[in-house]
Amino acid sequence: MALTVPPQVHVNSKPFDTLLSVPGPLPSLCYANRKTRSECTPLLFLDTEIIVLNVLAVQRLAHYLRTPIRALVILTIYTLVFSPAISWRAHLAHATRVLLAACPTLRHVKIGVPHTVCVRENWGMVEEAEFGFTDVCVLRMRMRKEVVDQMDLCCLIDCKTLETVTLVCHEGERVARSLGSRREVVFMPLIVWVRKNICGGWEAEVDS
C-alpha cells in the first residue's frame, strides 16, 4: 500500500478540526499503534510545506501547536511558508514570533514579499519628437538589503535549527526577468545573513 503525503498544507482562518489536522492527511494505517505513528510521522512530513495565508492563520496555528497533545505535530513542521499578506513590521510581528517559538524543529522559512516592496517605480520626463515631454515609468528592482531593511526578522534568531530563509515574490521575479536583472539580487536565500546584517553582533558568513 502506498502512502500519499501532501507536498503542501495550506492554513487559513478556518477551524483546524476541519482544515489542518496534522498528521490528518496521513492514512489511518499510521494510527495502528502509537510507536508506528510517532516514528513515521516526522519522516513522512519532512518535505511538506506548511503555508500560512494570513495573520489570523498565524495566530490559530500557533495556538494549535501550543496545545500539549500536539507534541508530535510540532515535530513534523520543518518548512513554514508565509504569504505576502503577513506583515513582518516590528509592531505586527508578535504572532509570528509565537508561531516560530512553537516550531522547535523548523529548518526552512519562506517569506512572501509583495511586489510593491521589491519593485520600485521611477517616474521621469522623456522628450518625444511628436508629443513633447511625456511621463514615463521605469521599473527597477530593489537591492536585497533595501527589502530586508523594511522587515523585522530578529524573531528568526531564536530558531536554533533554522537552515534557510528565503524571500519569495513571484511577480517580482517576473519583473526581474523582464528587466534582465539577476533574480538572486533580491531573492537569493538568506541564512544567517539576517542575524549579522539586521540584528548585529553575530559572527556569521554572508551568503555568496
Q: 43: which DSSP letter?
A: H
Please name which of 189, 186, 194 lies closest in space to residue 153, comparing C-alpha atoms.
194
Q: Can you tell me whether residue 131 is helix, strand or coil? A: coil
- Beta strands 119-128 and 132-141 are antiparallel
Q: 97: which DSSP letter?
A: H
What string of pLDDT tens digits covers the 208 residues of the chain?
Answer: 444 555 666 776 665 543 344 444 334 444 556 666 666 666 766 777 888 888 888 888 888 777 665 566 666 788 899 988 888 887 777 888 888 888 888 888 988 887 777 766 655 555 555 555 555 555 566 666 677 777 777 788 778 888 888 887 766 666 656 655 544 444 444 544 555 554 444 333 333 3
* Helix (H) or strand (E) segment spanning residue 177: helix 170-179
Asked if 71 and 77 touch (Cβ cutoff 8 Å), the reply is no
Which amino acid would we find at residue 71?
Answer: A
CA distance 185 to 14: 36
CA distance 12 to 84: 13
Neighbouring-strand partners of residue 119: 141
How far are the Cα atoms of 86, 153, 158 from residue 92, in angstroms, in the given order? Answer: 9, 12, 18
pTM: 0.65
Domain ranges within the chain, ordered by starting residue: 8-115+142-199
Handedness of CA 49, 54, 57, 61 (dihedral sign): positive
Phi-psi region of 182 (alpha: psi -120 to 50; beta: other; left: phi over 0): beta
How far are the Cα atoms of 50, 182, 197 from residue 57, in angstroms, in the given order? Answer: 11, 33, 29
